[in-house]
Structure 1
Amino acid sequence: MLKSGRVSWSGEAVKPRPLTHGLLDALPGIRYGFFTREGGVSSGLYRSLNCGVGSRDDKAFVFKNRARAARTLGVSHDRLATPFQIHSAEAVVVDEVWDIGRGPKVDAVVTKRRGIAVGVGSADCGPILFADPLAHVVAAAHAGWRGALAGIVEATVAAMETLGAQREQIVAVLGPTISRANYEVGADMVAVFEAADEENARFFRPSKRDGHAMFDLPGYIVARLFNAGVLGTDMGLCTYADEERFFSYRRATHRAEADYGRLLSAITLV
């Protein structure tokens, strides 16, 4: 089901080769990808395909990386629309692309305009790509625990419906996300989820540390997709565990690193 490319830090020109999934591969009329760290021009902590405008990386490198990713999807660099992410449950319809770094403060972008790629950045949070191939509507959403709990999945589906999509036709894939094995949280977060719905207790397992638990963010997001009436799945890839391919905010924090790169996930109508 998964396809992936090789990562190389040897300096040779390596093109971005994003990850894909069979569920979206089967749909006509779209191009998409969950980009890894492979195929960019950044170095150091950001090597190599850092697409994070909000990172401290050289902006010229970030812009070049974004342009490489856009070309991989068959669109020009100025036709890639990514939002200013704020861990919200807000989605916006994209008719025209804004300047880089000046996107709306939302966590999902939706379009039916051909030639526009909509995307989100991530580094442990869940990147979700959506498509309704019959209504010709696509979307990208960023789902951290706050956004997922607040309803970013449902907000994205609702925004797609305003453009003619039907939820029973929508297919969604959750890309590389931090896994339960590497996502330890405090009792306060467990309490927040259980207060929202006691059924949420199933997404937590005891940690080795008292007062802590291991949270299954991918499982929770996929459950929200299912409850929203969407055919969705998880790629089963952990950003924290796979340093060769993925950036990870939590891994960088545990190492006391100064910053971290961001992965791009994007989709467009052909």
Structure 2
Amino acid sequence: MTLGSSLLSAIPDLRHAFFSREGGVSEGIYGALNGGLGSRDDPASVVENRRRIAERLGVSPAHLVSVHQIHSPDVVVATGPWNGDARPKADALVTNVEGLAISVTTADCGPILFVDPNARVIGAAHAGWKGALTGVLESTIDAMETLGADRTGIVAAIGPLIRQDSYEVGSEFVERFIEADAGNGMFFIPGERDGHAMFDLAGFIRMRLENAGVLMIDDLGIDTYSDERFFSYRRSVHRKESDYGRHVHAIALMRE
């Protein structure tokens, strides 16, 4: 049901998980562990799935916090459960509060979990192409440093996401990246169709992390599109499905 990073797993008093779609109660296209509050799944099923996720992490459901993701570079500092049902609009969270599991949801985009084990500061970021290009990773690292982290001591793990073999994009997509930095051309290889290319989102994320000063990086290497254990927005579009499930990926500081 869950996958872990070997680098993060070696750190004391830290819990984390990249959840697959296995082990929940949702049915049909959402089967089974859909944690997406924004999906059109039965809300009661999503609540139960998230309860199971929180239990796996060792926190109460209220202490599994997430944001309303908007493909932005924005990050929030979490100090406890949100008041009411409203979630802040952002694409990353950071905290130094023990017992609080900060999480992001994905279905092809990149989930990145961060920790500075010395400062005991953690972060979670949702990095699709737009967020990665506009700075969500750098924003997360900056926000962690406001809580006392040192970027040279941060460990980051890149979870399941759509990989280059599955990620075909058009010429206008490539142009947007090249306009931002000509060096970004290294993350594209020719596609099978004329005028198309295959994009290495994981490689782009790793490069942005390294350029920001994070050098301890673990990449699980899993392709959400080709691996049926995972939800995939792109796969759902190709299959003409009406919606898609979302994975939860979370990290928490805990005293064992």
Give 2:25's aligned residue.
Answer: 41
Give 2:50's aligned residue.
Answer: 66
Structure 1 stretch 92-101 or stretch 217-226: which is displaced more?
92-101
Partner SS, residue 2 of structure 2: coil
Question: 1:85·1:105 contact (CA, 8 Å) conserved in 2?
Answer: yes
Distance 1:159-1:247 versus aligned 2 partners, 3 A rule: same
Give 1:234's aligned residue.
Answer: 219
User: Which of the residues 213, 222, 227 maps onto 2:206?
Assistant: 222
Higher relative contact order (CA 8 A, sep 6+): 2
* Rounded Cα–Cα distance in structure 2 between residues aligned with 1:141 and 1:237: 17
Q: Which AA in structure 1 matches 2:138?
A: E
| 1:26, distance to aligned residue in structure 2 (A) | 1.2
Question: 2:25·2:48 contact (CA, 8 Å) conserved in 1?
Answer: yes
- Quote the sequence identity (%): 56
* Rounded Cα–Cα distance in structure 1 between residues aligned with 2:84 and 2:182: 41
Post-superposition CA distance 1:127-159 (Å, at most 9, x none) = 000001110111110000000000111000000
Is 1:123 paired with 2:110? no
| 1:96, distance to aligned residue in structure 2 (A) | 2.0
Give 1:31's aligned residue.
Answer: 15
Distance 1:174-1:101 versus aligned 2 partners, 3 A rule: farther
Question: 2:5·2:218 contact (CA, 8 Å) conserved in 1?
Answer: no
Give 1:196's aligned residue.
Answer: 180
User: Which of the residues 84, 90, 94 maps onto 2:68?
Assistant: 84
* Rounded Cα–Cα distance in structure 1 between residues aligned with 2:204 and 2:81: 31
* Rounded Cα–Cα distance in structure 1 between residues aligned with 2:92 and 2:208: 15
Q: Which AA in structure 2 matches 1:208?
A: E
Distance 1:59-1:28 versus aligned 2 partners, 3 A rule: same
Post-superposition CA distance 1:222-246 (Å, at most 9, x none) = 1111111112231100000011x10
The unaligned stretches of length 5 or more in structure 2 are none
* Rounded Cα–Cα distance in structure 1 between residues aligned with 2:84 and 2:38: 11
- Structure 1 segments of 4+ aligned residues over 2 angstroms from their partners: none
User: Which of the residues 233, 237, 243 maps onto 1:253?
Assistant: 237
Alignment of 1:107-186 (within 5 A): 107-186=91-170
* Rounded Cα–Cα distance in structure 1 between residues aligned with 2:26 and 2:85: 18
| 1:92, distance to aligned residue in structure 2 (A) | 0.7
| 1:100, distance to aligned residue in structure 2 (A) | 7.5
Post-superposition CA distance 1:35-59 (Å, at most 9, x none) = 0011111010001000000000001
Q: Which AA in structure 1 matches 2:69?
A: Q
Partner SS, residue 221 of structure 1: helix
* Rounded Cα–Cα distance in structure 2 between residues aligned with 1:168 and 1:262: 32
Partner SS, residue 189 of structure 1: helix
The unaligned stretches of length 5 or more in structure 1 are 1-16
Distance 1:52-1:125 versus aligned 2 partners, 3 A rule: same
* Rounded Cα–Cα distance in structure 2 between residues aligned with 1:110 and 1:44: 34
Structure 1 stretch 176-185 or stretch 223-232: which is displaced more?
223-232
| 1:101, distance to aligned residue in structure 2 (A) | 5.3
Give 1:8's aligned residue.
Answer: none
Give 1:22's aligned residue.
Answer: 6
Matched length: 253
Post-superposition CA distance 1:174-212 (Å, at most 9, x none) = 100000000000100100100111000000000111111
Question: 2:112·2:126 contact (CA, 8 Å) conserved in 1?
Answer: yes
Post-superposition CA distance 1:15-51 (Å, at most 9, x none) = xx31001111111111000000111110100010000
